[in-house]
Amino acid sequence: MIVFTDYLWFNTKKHQEFIRITDDIAAIVRKSGVKEGTVLVSAMHITAGVYVNDWENGLIHDFQEWVEKLAPAGLNYRHHQTGEDNGDAHLKRTIMGHQVTLPITDGKLDLGPWEQVFYAEFDGQRKKRVVVKVMGI
């Protein structure tokens, strides 16, 4: 059994930014040597998410508008009494999810035709990390 660990680093230019990471994950899977197994992709910071959906800019815009509606910035969150101002980012990342597990079959990510993996930053402009854990044979 192989267990292989790697990390992806992000420092987005914008406060909110979604970044496609499918190819980075695929490269780590290749490096791991795992032919059959899974790979866990998980945000290590609590105002960022990782999700699987379409690589289409209109839909990415829709997702960003939608989480703004469900978890608006600028509300009087109690979390802000600590001096923070990112209460909404914690909620937004909860809607999108903060991790995915992808199957590996025949040495490759076993994804459907439109599945793409995204890093979803909701409180950017600082260094953040995603852990990638490959397990299998």
Residues in the chain: 137
In the shown chain, the binding pattern of residues 83 to 112 toward a second copy, with x for contact by CB under 8 A and - for none, equals: ----x--xx--xxxxxxxxxx-x----xxx
Q: Please pick, from the candidates 23, 59, 125, 127, the single residue that binds a second copy as defined by CB under 8 A.
A: 59
Judged by beta carbon, residue 25 or residue 102, the one nearer a second copy is 102
Q: How many CA atoms lie within 13 A of 118 on its CB side?
A: 25
Q: Is 80 in the site for a second copy (CB under 8 A)?
A: yes
Using CA atoms, how far apart are residues 97 and 134, in angstroms rounded to an integer?
19
- The answer to whether 134 and 28 have CB atoms below 8 angstroms apart is yes
54 binding a second copy? (CB under 8 A): yes
Q: Tell me if 49 sits within 8 A of 93, measured CB to CB.
A: yes
Closest CA to 89 of 51, 122, 55: 122
For position 11 contacting a second copy by CB under 8 A, the verdict is: no
Q: How far is the CB of 82 from a second copy (least distance, A)?
A: 6
| Choice between 19 and 38, CB closer to a second copy | 38
